[in-house]
């Protein structure tokens, strides 16, 4: 049975002309996956991110100690069999804090992406499609936000809002949506001049229908890629806010806050600051590698 089914499935996936829309989507997905998997660095980044998701999900199960458990008798212990990554200045197990800190980092990155992607997409498509005074006003607002470095802008917003994870997410979102809006506008300016959009107008389609059914789907791949690549900047900025005491507050095991508290012990207990720093570095690198691979897959100009 398996021998007869395998060739038919293979032939269905390799059919030169798809018979249905479902078949076309499946063929496109398989082709994209093969292209992504051929990029070894992108695949490694994606695997590392998947491991991070699993670690965050299973944190209470796989964590050897409580991330808040203090023991001054075991403070600043080097890596050992009992504490694989050592202990910090309060005797807390660094591995346990890194594991639970994964949840905070992914929470900030994912929630920021969920906010900035639709906001930037809506603003960019409206500005690019309608043009005129709406485009002028929206793009001048975008220019004001882009005039400041993202970290400085996030610092200004979180200072006004107050420290905390939720306020850090809001500040990061306010500083991260303008590049998405500018990209969506550039894509929309090209799409609105296409023949199929003109045909939709001749058929009496409303502007809202054209935007939702034609413009947004065409802009979405570029926006997804840009958001993915921006997540590395978001992770670094979130760690910077935590380092300055404006993000997650102690005793929360946020990597930037851990790095900040560990800098005082760099000379005699290097692992306290080095471990969260390496975690931030590897996560940002994995996001960049996976984003590069995703760009190659979703780029319509890819050979």
Provide the CB-side half-sphere exposure for 220 (13 A, CA). Answer: 8
Q: What is the pLDDT of residues 54-76, one digit of tens each?
A: 999 999 999 999 999 998 899 99
Q: Apex CA 154: angle with CA 222 and CA 100, to 5°?
A: 85
Between the two ends of the chain, the Cα-to-Cα distance in Å is 38
pLDDT digit of tens for each residue in the chain (303 aa)?
A: 444 444 577 777 777 777 777 877 887 888 888 888 888 999 999 999 999 999 999 999 999 999 999 988 999 999 999 999 999 999 999 999 999 999 999 999 999 999 999 999 999 999 999 988 999 999 999 999 999 888 888 889 998 888 888 999 999 999 999 999 999 999 999 888 888 888 888 888 888 888 888 889 889 888 988 999 889 999 999 999 999 888 888 888 999 999 999 988 988 999 999 999 999 999 999 999 999 888 888 765 554
Fold for 111-257+278-298, please state it: MetI-like fold (1.10.3720)
Provide the CB-side half-sphere exposure for 121 (13 A, CA). Answer: 21
> Considering the entire predicted model, what is its pTM?
0.88
Query: What is the per-residue pLDDT for 301?
Result: 53
**Positive or negative: CA dihedral 280, 283, 286, 290:** negative
Measured CA to CA, the distance from residue 260 to residue 25 in angstroms comes to: 47
Residues 202, 181 contacting (CB under 8 angstroms): no
Measured CA to CA, the distance from residue 13 to residue 10 in angstroms comes to: 5
Query: What is the per-residue pLDDT for 6?
Result: 46
Query: What is the per-residue pLDDT for 138?
Result: 94
Q: Apex CA 249: angle with CA 81 and CA 47, to 5°?
A: 55
Query: What is the per-residue pLDDT for 299?
Result: 65
Number of H helices, E strands in the chain: 13, 0
Measured CA to CA, the distance from residue 194 to residue 201 in angstroms comes to: 11
Distance of CA 157 to the CA centre of its chain: 20
Residue 5's contacts (CB-CB under 8 Å, 6 or more residues apart) are none
Alpha helices in 39-93 (DSSP H): 40-57, 59-62
DSSP for residue 213 = I
Query: What is the per-residue pLDDT for 94?
Result: 96
Using a 10 angstrom Cβ sphere, with 0-12 exposed, 13-18 middle and 19 or more buried, the burial of residue 109 is: buried
Query: What is the per-residue pLDDT for 1?
Result: 45
Query: What is the per-residue pLDDT for 61?
Result: 95
């Amino acid at each position: 049975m398996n021998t007869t089914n395998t060739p038919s499935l293979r032939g269905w996936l390799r059919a030169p002309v798809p018979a249905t829309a479902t078949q076309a989507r499946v063929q496109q997905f398989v082709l994209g996956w093969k292209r992504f998997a051929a990029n070894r660095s992108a695949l490694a980044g994606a695997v590392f991110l998947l491991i991070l998701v699993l670690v965050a999900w299973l944190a209470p199960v796989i964590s050897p100690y409580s991330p808040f458990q203090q023991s001054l008798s075991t403070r600043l212990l080097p890596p050992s069999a009992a504490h694989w990554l050592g202990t910090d200045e309060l005797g807390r197990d660094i591995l346990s804090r890194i594991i639970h800190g994964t949840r905070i980092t992914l929470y900030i990155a994912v929630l920021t992406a969920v906010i900035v992607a639709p906001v930037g997409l809506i603003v960019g498509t409206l500005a690019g499609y309608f043009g005129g005074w709406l485009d002028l006003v929206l793009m001048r607002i975008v220019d004001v936000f882009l005039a400041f470095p993202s970290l400085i802008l996030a610092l200004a917003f979180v200072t006004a809002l107050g420290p905390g994870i939720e306020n850090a997410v809001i500040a990061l979102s306010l500083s991260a949506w303008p590049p998405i809006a500018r990209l969506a506008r550039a894509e929309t300016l090209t799409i609105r001049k296409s023949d199929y959009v003109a045909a939709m107008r001749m058929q009496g389609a409303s502007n809202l229908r054209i935007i939702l059914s034609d413009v947004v789907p065409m802009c979405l791949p570029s926006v997804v890629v840009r958001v993915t690549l921006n997540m590395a900047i978001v992770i670094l900025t979130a760690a910077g806010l935590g380092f300055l005491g404006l993000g997650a507050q102690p005793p929360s095991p946020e990597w930037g806050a851990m790095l900040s508290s560990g800098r005082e012990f760099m000379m005699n207990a290097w692992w306290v600051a080095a471990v969260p720093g390496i975690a931030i570095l590897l996560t940002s690198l994995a996001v960049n590698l996976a984003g590069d691979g995703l760009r190659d897959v979703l780029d319509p100009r890819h050979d």
